[in-house]
Amino acid sequence: MPRLYIDAPIIPNQSFILKDAPFNHAIRVLRLQIKDEIVLFNGTGGEYLAIITSIDKKHAVLQVLDFNPIERESSLNLHLYQALAKGDKLDYILQKATELGVNSITLLISKRSIAAIAEERLDKKMAHFRSIIISACEQCGRNTLPVLELPLKLHKLNLSSELNYLTLDPKAEDKLSDSIKVSTKGATHKNIALIIGPEGGLSPDELDLLSKKGCQSINLGARILRTETAAIAVIAALQALFGDW
């Protein structure tokens, strides 16, 4: 059944007017018609079954039938810190990370970052990234949106004692399969933060800084992965090892 994100309160047994971008997507892209059913969610948890009762040129009226509190979140508390990447690579990472169940995504600026977001374009770019996340949630069935944080310079990143922090280094001795240990500070293998560098990887100084802050470096074998591959590969492996796969 089609799913549609609505940035507004949704109340069972009441009518809801669909307009603007959600209207265009439902009526002109999905080509839904009167009497078609659709699932609505607003990112705060759960979903709503609705039926289209009328359509005109600029809006449609939906009758909200009932609320389903179902959640499809992973058992992992997983946070991705992803360095900015060129072209549409970041779109791909945001989409797949959302599908794989991350709880939050923080964009990072590192020494070797080639991509940059001009300050005057930041709001527009963040809105675009948020739309990628919303579309991924519509597709994969998640009813809670991952939090998207503004770009942060890597050296300003403060590590929480409640998370196990991992980053990738081809020279690291530890592998992912034996890297997650229960932290003496209270973090467990269910609470993980993953730091991924840009196309050129993190610099030695950055890796050293992260290590001093308590981040563990791991390697993924003999093959060097692209930044857009690395994030997705590790998240998928973590889901298989400790999540709901």
Domain locations in the chain as residue ranges: 3-68, 77-242
pLDDT the model gives residue 182: 42
User: What kind of architecture, by CATH, is found in domain 3-68?
Assistant: Beta Barrel (2.40)
pLDDT the model gives residue 184: 40
Q: Which alpha helices (DSSP H) does 35-182 contain, by range?
A: 89-99, 122-140
Q: Which helix (H) or strand (E) holds 22?
A: helix 20-23
Please report, for the chain, how many H helices and E strands are present, in that order. Answer: 5, 11
Q: How far is CA 87 from the centre of its chain?
A: 18
- Per residue in 24-73, pLDDT tens? 889 999 899 999 999 999 998 999 999 999 999 899 999 999 999 999 99
pLDDT the model gives residue 37: 95
pLDDT the model gives residue 72: 94
- In Å, how far are 149, 170, 178, 221, 233 from 173, measured between CA atoms? 31, 8, 10, 10, 19
pLDDT the model gives residue 187: 54
Please state the pTM of the whole predicted model.
0.89
Angle of CA points 233, 234, 239, to nearest 5°: 100
pLDDT the model gives residue 113: 85
Low-confidence stretches of the chain (pLDDT < 70) are 178-188
- Please state which CATH number belongs to domain 77-242: 3.40.1280.10
pLDDT the model gives residue 228: 92
* Cα(243)–Cα(139) distance, integer angstroms: 20
